Each structure stands twice: as C-alpha cells, then as structure tokens.
Structure 1
Amino acid sequence: MEYETYKIHRGQGNFYPFVFNDIMGFEKDTNTGVLVKDVKLVLGGHVEDGYQFLPIQKLMKGDKYYNSSPTLDDKVHVLVCVLPADKVSLTSAEVVKKMREVRITARDMGIPQLAILTKVDEACPETNKNIKDVYKSKYLKEQVDAFSLLLGVPQNCIFLVKTYGPDPNMNDDNDVVILNALRQMIDFGDDFLNDL
C-alpha cells in the first residue's frame, strides 16, 4: 500500500484545514503488513507521499521517500486506530504488541490517540436496527472495554461508527456518529497544536 495524504475538498479550490493519512494495517506475520518502524517514521513526519510500504524493509535515511527535515505539517497530530467492532477479541497477540508499541511511541511524542470501532451494525443486530442505540449496546460496551484493556486507550477515546456500505445514500443517524468521531479527532489535533 502506498502512503498518501487525503485532503477534503471544501469548494472552489479550497480544502478543509486538516488531512488524513492512511496506512496499511498490521498483520500477525512478520513479513506481511506495515512495519512498526515505518509507522514510527510516519508519526515523526519522515515519510513522503508515494512511499510504498514494504513488510520486509523499513524506509531508510537517504531513500527517495525519506523526509529528513519534517515540518509541523508533516508530523502526525492525532493517531487513530481503526478496527472492526466484531474483531476485537480476534486480534492476535502479535498485532496487539505492534499496536501498543506504536501507541507508546505516539504517547512519548505527545501525540493524542483515539480508536474507532467500525461495522457496529454487523457486530450488534440491535444497532443495525437503530444506530442511535450504538452507545446503549451491552455487547459494544464490552468491545470498547476489551479494546481499552488491550491497548490502554481510555474508553472515552474509543468511538463507535457504522461503516457506509455499497449503498451511497446518506443517513443522518449514521452521519451523526461518524461526524462525532471526526469532531473529536479535530479537537484532539487542535489540543496537540495548542500544547506545542
């Protein structure tokens, strides 16, 4: 997977004042998925757009996509971990170890962390009927508790969302939970910048 920055278009050539960077996930095996060392480089702003993550070799100083002089704009302001709600208990010890290592590095760098548990409608049939009940679900509360215990992310920093499927029709109730998570990301990022 290629490292890429995503900007959200505001209209007339303008963009919102935040960007998203998405990286491939961790895998159980050592020679698949993204390397922890590369994620740490991303946190510090050392990875340029277009870098192809390799599961067997980390980005090195002097490589084409290595940013040796990152600016504040290049650095990560909020680390967000995304995992399907029904996969929390299935996450391998190897993946959890990698995630914890990145989280601790982010903490040491002063980067706030959030988590998003997706596909809540697939994990909980009651939520599938009414997304407004997402934070009333006993099962989803258990998943939040389990995820918090696994990674050390506080429960109030774990958000539940329903992923949009192939149906492109927007739904106000779905939008509310997604926009709430986005609002928290932006607020945490603002707090990070204000603390500098």
Structure 2
Amino acid sequence: MGGKNSKSELEPPLLDKEWRDVPQGDKAEYLEFVRGFEPFQPCHDEKNEDQHIRILLHGVTGHGKSSFINSVDTVLRGRMAGRALADTDGRKTFTKKYTTYKITKGARGTFYPFVFNDIMGLEKNEGVLEEDIKLAMMGHVKDGYTFNPHATLPTDDPHYNTNPSLSDKVHVLVCVVSANKIHLMDDDAVKRMRTVRLAASDMGIPQMAILTNIDVACPEVKANLRNVYKSKYVKEKMEVLSESLGIPLNCIFPVKNYHSEIAPNDDLEMLILMALKQMLNQGEDFVNDCKCT
C-alpha cells in the first residue's frame, strides 16, 4: 500500500553464503559409500540373521513419501524407477498396504542392506492410526497388511508378527514433509506426528525428517538446486519443522524428488544421497547398540 515495498521484497531471497556447512565430496563419493555399506558386525558370537537397515517413512498424505523411495531407487539403479506407487492428487492417501521395498544391487537377486517401508498417510479420519505405526516400529506388522483407519491391527490377525526379530523392527523413523505444504498442516496432524516421534524416542529409534518439494517452494532453488543452503525460505521452513516436531535441525535434510525429469540430475541426487547416508549411519548405530546390549 502507498507504494512501499514489503519486507520480503526488500530482503534478498538468498544469503551471501551457505547457512549449513555441507560435507565436501561429490556424487561419486556418496555413491561409493552407499554401494560399499556393510553394517552389522555382531559384538558377540551368535548366528547372524539376514540383517538390514529398516527405514520407515511416515507423514501427512501427499508430501512425498513414495516419491522419495522412487528417487532413491532411481539414484542407485541409474535409471528411472517407480515401484512405490505415488498419486499426484495428494488429497487422499494412495498407499494402503504396509510395503517393504528392497533395491536391487548389481546382479539380479542381490540387494542393498537396507529397506524402506512405506505406510498409509496420516490423513484425518481416513489415514493410518498412530497405534499401527507404533506396532510397525516394534516389528509386529507383516508386509502386505492393509491398514484400517478405524481399527488397530489385532493380535490374532495373520499379518500380526508375534515374535519380531531385530530385522523386523524399524531402525530409523523418517518424517516426510513438503516445503510448499507445511503451512497447510493442521494442529491435529502435527500432534499425531509428534506422538509417533515420541513413541520412537521411547523405543530408542533415531528420527530424521526430510523436507521435500524445495524447488516448488522456492524459485531460487528451482532455478539452481545448489542454492538450497543459501535460501532463506528453505531455512525458515526447516526451522518451523524443527520447532513443530522437536527434531533437531541437523537431522532435517532438504531434498527434491524426481518428478518431471526423465534424465539423471547430479544436484538432485546429491541431496538424496546426503539424506540417505545419514539414515544409514543412524540406523547402523541403533542396530549395533541393540546387538551389543
């Protein structure tokens, strides 16, 4: 009004330097880490089961959980992947079943030593119940279970795992939030996500968050993904997410999922790989602690 510029118009959208110290290295180095990742050296002489890092993604419907799994699959396989079915509508949860995704490594029949679990979104009245997420974290939910928004998985259901092994349990809990939708999350959704996070804390499970759609939320990042840690807007959204859920800033990673691209993008993949490396490191620490106690 009156010809005056707003504060946002007066301030430049980018900082002079990156607000987060980003580890040095290129995409090849991160790929080498993931491809050479061999966790789980038992502390005691025991029969070592087929162990892997289990990463559970959770959050509000339409924020990019399935797309993140597909993006990791694409990065590691070197071609576009879409096994985790995603919906561009985003108004109702598209994932209905508890599904484990393995990623092929090299020759057919071999897989990376980590898996992703996709879960029904936290949609009000029609989404996954917090109690079912807790059961999944404890390893009680078998692959293929169709979630019931109105009733928790009963102990007499064929998909209830009575005696979960360490491999069945969740080792890293990752909350997925879209940068361009974080302002649309109501208090109920935030409360439910925080309830799940606190339950994970009680179980000793490490928690992370990924902020998706950073290119949609910030024009400067859309123009150049390397601006991500100079973007005031991305920094602000990460701080809001940290304050809302209680997740430390150093456990929140901004990413862009593959969406419209049909060819590899090194800058996109670097962000995906940085987040994945942190998930693997935290998961390995958790499992090793479990084996050594």
Is the structural similarity TM-score above 0.5? yes
CA distance in 1, matches of 2:224, 2:121: 29
Shift of 1:110: 0.4
Q: Write out aligned runs for 1:146-157 (5 A).
A: 146-157=240-251
Q: Which runs of 5+ in 1 are unaligned?
A: none
Once the two structures are superposed, the pairs formed by residues 100-111 of structure 1 within 5 Å of their partners are 100-111=194-205
Among candidates 102, 108, 116, match of residue 210 of structure 2: 116
Structure 1 residue 17 and structure 2 residue 113: aligned?
yes
Cross-structure match for 1:99: 193
Distance 1:59 1:110 in 2: 23
The residue that corresponds to 1:68 in the other structure is 162
Q: What is the alpha-carbon distance in structure 2 between the residues aligned to residue 9 and residue 178 of structure 1?
A: 17
| Greater RCO structure (CA 8 Å; 6+ sep) | 2
Counterpart CA distance in 2 for 1:96 and 1:88 is: 10
Residue pairs, 1:134-149, within 5 angstroms: 134-149=228-243
* TM-score normalised to structure 1 length: 0.97
Give CA deviations for 1:89-119 in whole Å, capped at 9, x if unaligned: 2211111111011000000100000000101
Is this contact kept in 2: 1:79–1:106, CA < 8 A?
A: yes
Provide the C-alpha distance between the structure 2 equivalents of 1:88 and 1:135, rounded to a whole number of angstroms: 18
Cα deviation for residue 166 of structure 1 reads: 2.7
The structure carrying a bigger strand percent of its residues is 1
Does residue 35 in structure 1 map to residue 134 in structure 2? no
Matched, 1:44 2:44: no
Give the TM-score taking structure 2 as reference length.
Answer: 0.65
Report the Cα offset of residue 195 of structure 1. 1.7
The letter of the residue matching 1:7 is K
Partner of 2:270: 176
> 1:193 and 1:132 mapped to 2: Cα distance?
34
Distance 1:108 1:19 in 2: 22
Q: Which residue of 2 aligns with 1:3?
A: 98
Q: Structure 2 regions of 5+ residues with no counterpart?
A: 1-95
Task: State the alpha-carbon separation in 1 of the partners of residues 235 and 111 from structure 2.
Answer: 36
Partner of 1:187: 281
- Matching of residues 123-134 of structure 1 within 5 Å: 123-134=217-228
Task: Give the letter aligned to residue 37 of structure 1.
Answer: E
Q: Which runs of 4+ in 1 moved over 4 A?
A: none
Q: More helix per residue: 1 or 2?
A: 1
Q: CA deviation at 1:51?
A: 0.3
- Answering whether residue 172 of structure 2 is matched by residue 78 of structure 1, we say yes
Residues 89, 146 of structure 1: 8 Å contact kept: no
Tell me the matched-pair count. 194
What one-letter code is carried by the residue in structure 1 that aligns with 2:115? V
Q: Give 1 or 2 for the bigger CA radius of gyration.
A: 2
Question: Contact 1:38–1:59 at 8 Å: present in 2 too?
Answer: yes
